[in-house]
Amino acid sequence: MTKILTPLLGVLLLFSGVYTHAQTVIEGKVTDSSTGDPIPFANVVIKGSSVGSTTDFDGFFKIKGDAESDTLVVSYIGYERKEKRYEKGVSQVLNFQLNPEATNLGDFVIVAGKQENPAFPIMRQIIENKNRNDKRSLDAYQYTSYNKIEVDVDNITDKLREKKFMKRITSVLDSIETIAGEDGKPILPLFISESLSDFYYRSEPRLQKEYVRNTKITGVGLEDGSLISQVIGSSFQQYNFYQNRMNIVDKEFASPIGDGWRLLYDYELQDSLYIDDDYCYLLEFQPKNDQELAFTGKMWITKNEFALKRIDVTMAKTANINFIEKIKIQQELDRTETGPWLPVKSRILVDVAELTNNSAGFLAKFYSSNQNLQVTKPKPTSFYERGIELAEEAVTNSEDFWAQHRHEKLSPTEVNVIAMIDTLNNIPFVKTWTEIMKTAARGYVEVGMFDIGPIPLTISGNNVEGWRGRLGGRTNENFSKKWQFNGYGAYGLDDKKWKYGFGAKYIIDRKKWTTISANYRTDIDQFGVQVNPLTSIAEGSAFIALTSLGDLVRPFYYDRAQVEFARQFSRAFSASVSLRNQNFTPLFDFRYRKELNRVDSPLGTDFTTTETIVRLKYARDETFLINDNNRISLGTLRWPIFMLSYTRGFKGPINGDFDYNKVDIAVSQTLKMGFWGNMSYQINAGHIFDEVPYPLLTAHIGNESIVYTDIAFNTMDFYEYVSETYGSLKLQHKFEGFILNRIPLIKKLKWRLVGTGSMLFGGVSESTLAVQVLEDENGNPLPQFGTLKPSKPFTEVGIGIENILKFFRVDYVRRLTYLDQPRVRKSTIKVSFDISL
């Protein structure tokens, strides 16, 4: 028996070995030729057979088996099909790079009849089960997040290569081909970052926090500063398709599984298949209106839960959005132990178009991987006070550390990117231009421990000072992370007066952002621009720059000393208290009674105020970033901002001339209205409780320039009205493409409609009017001010077109009340320069 079995076993082993050796195994990766990014979910099959596979989220595939054909075919929606020959009976690696299709997808064909579109029952089940599957239904969850961002220059034309400045980096450009691959397009990398963080969420109240543990940044002219380290994490890569509208590049995109799915999208059921252990329906979709902010793509829906398992979407090229050629989002989700699904991998591509035929474009690529997903109990609300918190020693450049902690290793392309950026940083020409660009963005020139500027204020001119030169600066974080000193000096050629200022700020606590500051200034200003303590206009704003040139409106010199303490008590609540002493020296005809209630009081021109100002602010979901020694607010997402200010003026103790009490309140919010656009409103009100000279009342800001601004009343003259008691409402509704996108010829222009309206109630009491001086000491009439009737508001409405040639906005504003005033402008046309996506 043994003699028979031994040769038989040998024969079987021989045939087994031959069979094993003859089996075909093909593995590889499918990538986008224009970006180098992997293409997940692509179909990879042997031509004319059913032997095949799909790529995973990272673009990899593996096929085992044989067929009659020796050709492998790769295809995916939005890309040109590609074929390659393979060798039978061996293991081999075949990589594919697919070219994006030049044309859009054709329309879905919907056949009329009694039979319902088979995709619709699935869609209804998705909507019915949204709350059960949406991660927002969890009380709390947390995970570890690894994030990677890369920014590149793409579409580098031959003509651009011939430019003089580009020839200086020819040695780098010659090696670009190694980044994109054999079929890829050349790109020039500018930035790549990695971060590792812990992300936390709770639903009631809805709060989130990211603790950034480690970061690594490699960029042209960039350092791993605290600001950049805070924005490369998971907080800015949250994409939830269960929301009806998703905020992407500050635009509201309609989700294909939003409640309005049937109005906005067409659907087609393509297939059903297993993904891991989940049996899924494959649905394709595209927007009904090609200019809608919506997506074309595919999604895989689980049969049992009707949950989103995978999704791959691309913004339509014809969508009404500026400067963006393509937005692509790919996401894979896993079920949590309690039911709702959390994203485990996300990849986002934003392709910024070339501004001109001779310029290049940009690619921004984001990758996020989440592990250790945990459904937890909500942490105390105090835990979420800092929405983004950076570890003390977050910068970790050790390659050993990142090799151990990355959720996936760097691709050869990304390794080449890092090497090329290091090479670019050592080119003198690149160093020079990156410093120039940094200066333009900051407004300051960094010189070691000091920032010199602001640059835009260096040279200016007006009717009082003539040409004015200014030189100033401040210390930066290289000097100290606790102390910041600032100062400036200025001189007017006509008034021959020096103006100057200096100050200091001490950061007591960065976590609760507690500061104390003191400053002194002697300078010139114009009346009525910075009166309201809640709506003071920033010094460097475009409106201030415009109104400070040419003829100043009721200008005055001032000397001001101020001390302020400010603290962020919680994520929502902050407060400040300041003590201010200011001298007012008018350069226009003005008199006041030194004893207000005496008609025979001696008259004065200059006066001094001593004030204590308390400001309170409540902003429920406001997010902040720490930028070196300063803090930047990113605003709120869903809740209004409430502000209250109380001003107490003192007479006597520190040379103050008046006693008074003043209260101001403000409420503002931007409402994301999805399909209908965005509406912003601002409500202001205030009252001064004591009789004072009119420069201490509230002067409402008019606008006599040709430039539109939402800061002012655009049909009101400068200093036309002053109020003791006031209340105002400003509205602006940006319809985006809601109306004009539906007009056949107009929609090609991609214009967007804007509606505006302003209403102001105000007035001055008889007792306050009685203390005003109407004539000077010689009986000559003095310039006066206008007052509103309490029962008759100042009202104006407007309609505008924005996105004209992508950069301009034109508004027609009509004044509806107080039309009988002298020099009144019943209507006006304003223009503005507006860069928006």
The residue among 420, 442, 464 that closes a domain is: 442
The residue among 442, 463, 482 that closes a domain is: 442
- For residue 628, being part of any structural domain is answered with yes
CB 525 within 8 A of CB 543: no
- For residue 456, being part of any structural domain is answered with no
The closest alpha carbon to 314, from 37, 126, 674, belongs to 37
507-516 pLDDT per residue, tens: 999 888 999 9
- Based on the domain organization, do 146 and 65 belong to the same domain? no
d(CA 673, CA 252): 9
Higher model confidence: residue 241 or residue 353?
241
At residue 361, the pLDDT reads 78
At residue 764, the pLDDT reads 93
If one counts the domains in the chain, the total is 3
Average pLDDT, the chain: 84
- Tell me whether residue 646 is exposed, middle or buried, using C-beta atoms within 10 angstroms of its C-beta: 0 to 12, 13 to 18, 19 or more: middle
At residue 226, the pLDDT reads 65
H helix intervals, 284-411: 399-405
Cα 792 to chain centroid distance, Å, stands at 39
Residue 189, number of CB atoms within 10 A of its CB: 25
- For residue 477, being part of any structural domain is answered with no
- Based on the domain organization, do 80 and 150 belong to the same domain? no
- For residue 452, being part of any structural domain is answered with no
- Considering only 155-169, 412-426, 675-689, which range has the smallest mean pLDDT? 155-169
- Based on the domain organization, do 78 and 178 belong to the same domain? no
- What ranges make up the beta strands (E) of 86-202? 91-93, 96-98, 140-154, 188-202
Domain containing 756: what range?
510-833
Higher model confidence: residue 724 or residue 230?
724
d(CA 704, CA 707): 8
Higher model confidence: residue 190 or residue 309?
309
d(CA 809, CA 186): 36
CB 368 within 8 A of CB 108: no
Structural tokens at position 715: 């049909």
Cα 753 to chain centroid distance, Å, stands at 22
Structural tokens at position 118: 């088979």
Confidence of residue 185 (pLDDT cuts 50, 70, 90): low
Residue type, 695: P
SS3 67: coil
CB 149 within 8 A of CB 192: yes
- Tell me whether residue 611 is exposed, middle or buried, using C-beta atoms within 10 angstroms of its C-beta: 0 to 12, 13 to 18, 19 or more: buried
Residue 89 is part of a domain; what is its CATH number? 2.60.40.1120
- Tell me whether residue 462 is exposed, middle or buried, using C-beta atoms within 10 angstroms of its C-beta: 0 to 12, 13 to 18, 19 or more: buried
- Based on the domain organization, do 550 and 692 belong to the same domain? yes
- For residue 308, being part of any structural domain is answered with no
At residue 341, the pLDDT reads 95
- For residue 202, being part of any structural domain is answered with yes
- Based on the domain organization, do 771 and 631 belong to the same domain? yes
- Based on the domain organization, do 652 and 719 belong to the same domain? yes
Residue identified by tokens 């949590």 is 336
What are the Cα distances from residue 554, in Å, to 470, 529, 696?
Answer: 22, 11, 14
- Based on the domain organization, do 638 and 711 belong to the same domain? yes
Structural tokens at position 638: 């869903």
- For residue 103, being part of any structural domain is answered with no
Residue range 347-364: mean pLDDT, rounded: 79
pTM over 0.95: no
CB 276 within 8 A of CB 698: no
- Based on the domain organization, do 94 and 150 belong to the same domain? no
591-608 pLDDT per residue, tens: 888 888 888 888 889 999
Cα 681 to chain centroid distance, Å, stands at 19
The residue among 65, 98, 131 that closes a domain is: 98
Residue identified by tokens 């001109």 is 356
Structural tokens at position 81: 């099909």
Q: Which H or E run includes 630?
A: strand 630-633
138-177 pLDDT per residue, tens: 999 999 999 998 888 877 766 766 676 666 665 665 555 5
SS3 195: strand
Residue 746 is part of a domain; what is its CATH number? 2.40.160
Residue 822, number of CB atoms within 10 A of its CB: 5
Higher model confidence: residue 677 or residue 441?
677
- Based on the domain organization, do 433 and 582 belong to the same domain? no
Peptide linkage before 287 cis (omega within 30 of 0): no
- Based on the domain organization, do 760 and 630 belong to the same domain? yes
d(CA 105, CA 117): 19
Residue identified by tokens 């178009």 is 353
- Based on the domain organization, do 676 and 551 belong to the same domain? yes
Cα 419 to chain centroid distance, Å, stands at 30
Strands 96-98 and 25-32: parallel
d(CA 668, CA 710): 13
Residue range 39-49: mean pLDDT, rounded: 87
- Based on the domain organization, do 713 and 581 belong to the same domain? yes
Residue range 756-770: mean pLDDT, rounded: 93
- For residue 284, being part of any structural domain is answered with no
Core vs surface per residue 220-258: b (16+ CB within 10 A) or e: bbbebebebbbebbbbbbbbebbbbbbebeebbbbbbbb
Residue 131, number of CB atoms within 10 A of its CB: 11
At residue 17, the pLDDT reads 42
